[in-house]
Structure 1
Amino acid sequence: MTAILALDLGTTTGWALSSNGEIRSGSVSFKDTPFDSKDSRFTKFSRWLANQKANFEIEEIVYESVMRHVGVRASHVYGAFMGVLQVFADKYEIPYEGVPVSTIKKSATGKGNASKEDMVKAMEAKGHKVKDDNEADALALLYWRIKNE
């Protein structure tokens, strides 16, 4: 099955996958536990990506390109997730593209500065039972990508 994978990167990563006209989505936590080695979240993310590749023929990856973070730690974590994603995509020769947050929000709601709640409502209006704003963002990104093929 060929697929497009859309990601809202972070310790809790939102994902949406379009495969043969079917859309799947969710969010997954890569939070470290007290039993993990320091920053194992990135290893967990790498394994998760490999599992997606094993189950789907991923032909493209799009991710939310965040240019401003509230804190330094959030910025570092995002950058590390993005690095893991890019190394993975390069290794398997999967094209990838970062899409600005405002572009995704405007496509989904008509407002480039839409709130998290607005994004969830927009994806629920499309018939999705959304777990959290991370999943909503990934779904909105996937819809943007499908619309702009």
Structure 2
Amino acid sequence: MTQPNEQLRCILALDLGTTTGWALRGYDGLITTGTASFKPGRYDGGGMRYLRFTNWLTELDRLSGPIAAIWFEEVRNHKGVDASHVYGGLMASLTSWGELRGVPYQGVPVGTIKRHATGHGNASKEAMIAAARARGSSPADDNEADAIAILHWALETRGGAA
């Protein structure tokens, strides 16, 4: 049996955060993007954000997948403690989800994504949104724009292998 063409695989790119940006290239080549909110509700326990994130990944995989690979923005420096905790919890949930299903995942440094999208490793949020628009997308915010940039980086560099 032959391996499926790499171009036909479902690939997911994520900008992890309370508002997670996502971009998905389906097996049919169609790119779909958006944001998903994982803001805790008033009566939510501390782990509900991560449980909702895991359920969201499972539903995305069920409806659009199977997801063959995931790339995410690898943040090394956060502006606040809360953002750092949320990112770490989402990343732990993502990597556990991937490990359980045998889905490979890889972080991509922020500067690499920005440089690929705009030519500058320290591009502003506005520049990232403009770069996504220049590629024909209409991102709702910088989270979605970052996910679009990650997806294009992954596709154009074959995940950094090119």
Structure 1 position 81 matched with structure 2 position 68:
no
Give the whole-Å Cα distance in 1 for the aligned partners of 2:132 and 2:59: 26
Aligned length: 149
The equivalent residue for 1:134 is 143
The equivalent residue for 2:3 is none
Deviation at 1:115, TM superposition (A): 0.3
Partner SS for 2:139: coil
Compute the TM-score of the two structures, normalised by the length of structure 2. Answer: 0.89
The equivalent residue for 1:120 is 129
The equivalent residue for 1:9 is 16
The one-letter code of the counterpart of 2:149 is A
Unaligned runs of 5+ residues in structure 1 are none
What is the alpha-carbon root mean square deviation over aligned residues? 1.0
Give the whole-Å Cα distance in 2 for the aligned partners of 1:138 and 1:82: 15
Deviation at 1:40, TM superposition (A): 1.2
Structure 1 position 31 matched with structure 2 position 29:
no
More strand by share: 1
Give the whole-Å Cα distance in 2 for the aligned partners of 1:10 and 1:129: 20
Which one has a bigger Cα radius of gyration?
2
Unaligned runs of 5+ residues in structure 2 are 1-7
Deviation at 1:2, TM superposition (A): 3.4
Deviations 1:96-145 (A, max 9, x none): 10000000000000000000000000001111111110000000000000
Deviations 1:48-68 (A, max 9, x none): 001011111100000000000
